[in-house]
Amino acid sequence: MAVFETEALVLRSYNLAEADKIVVCLSRSTGLIRGVAKNCRKLKNRFGASLEPFTLINLTYFEKEHQELVSFSQTEILRSRFNLSSDAAVLSGFSYMGDLLMDFSPPRQANDNLYRMALACFEAVSQSPSDLEWVLRYFEVWLLKLEGFLPDLRTCANCHKAFGGDEPLYLGSDLSLRCASCSAGRGTVISKQVHQQLRATEKLSPPKFAEETRGVPAETREALAQLTYKLISRVLERTPRARPTFVTS
């Protein structure tokens, strides 16, 4: 039996038997892990409130060979999000991010960039809940990028010319981005404004991205939201389970 300690973000928990829970976490050192927290639903238990979704914890767990579920032995809260528990929009946004992390992360594969990006997004919304929409777009773009599904935003997939100017770009059915002449007008149109938003995520932190793009017109925001939704649905081969309430179509 091996014992491990890692920082982890609680994504979801399910009741198991009378007093236990199955908890899904994104951990820094092991990636996505599923574990059992014994007796955690009893009034007095060693886990306290640490296993509430979206809490950042220090987790000690052990695992036995050939068992998918690990056993949680100790937790310590590093950052709780109780202050946001009554904000329905934030909770729905957090659930959406949590679901996507579970969908995109292969079990037990550490991905430090993904872990840090996710944490930065949860933190940015915690600090400034009104930035939720921007942070979700940022999260979606980076999730796609870090998992290798974001098209090259700099050059045409066909002629390799750098994108620039005012011409729209076209997203092909193979999820690659082409210039107007290579695509011959086929594919999903990506406006210059949406392209600029995508590029901005590459250079900025989540709070900076929110700050710098607050003035972007509703039309562009909607187009970006639809684009990321489309890309994610294509990768998953279905629509995401949860969907942020403000995405209208």
CB 152 to Zn ion: min, Å = 11
CB 109 to Zn ion: min, Å = 35
What residues are paired with 170 via a beta bridge? 178, 189
- Choices 3-11, 40-48, 95-103, 182-190; region in contact with Zn ion by CB under 5 A: 182-190
CB 151 to Zn ion: min, Å = 13
Among residues 10 and 182, whose Cβ is nearest to Zn ion?
182
What whole-number distance in Å separates Cα of residue 245 and Cα of residue 89? Answer: 7
51 forms part of the interface with Zn ion (CB under 5 A): no
Total residues interacting with Zn ion, rule: CB under 5 A: 5
Q: Per-residue x/- marks for Zn ion, 142-181, CB under 5 A? A: --------------x-xx-------------------x--
SS3 letters across 58-72: EEEEEECCCCCCEEE
Tally of CA atoms within 13 A in the half-sphere of 31 that contains its CB? 13
Q: Check: CB of residue 153 under 8 Å from CB of residue 195.
A: yes
Among residues 141 and 156, whose Cβ is nearest to Zn ion?
156
CB 195 to Zn ion: min, Å = 14
Mapped onto helix, strand or coil, the DSSP state of residue 10 is: strand
Sheet with 169-171: list strands edge to edge.
177-178, 169-171, 188-190
182 forms part of the interface with Zn ion (CB under 5 A): yes
Going by C-alpha positions, the residue among 120, 142, 111, 116 that lies closest to residue 31 is: 111
| Binding-site ranges for Zn ion (CB under 5 A) | 156, 158-159, 179, 182
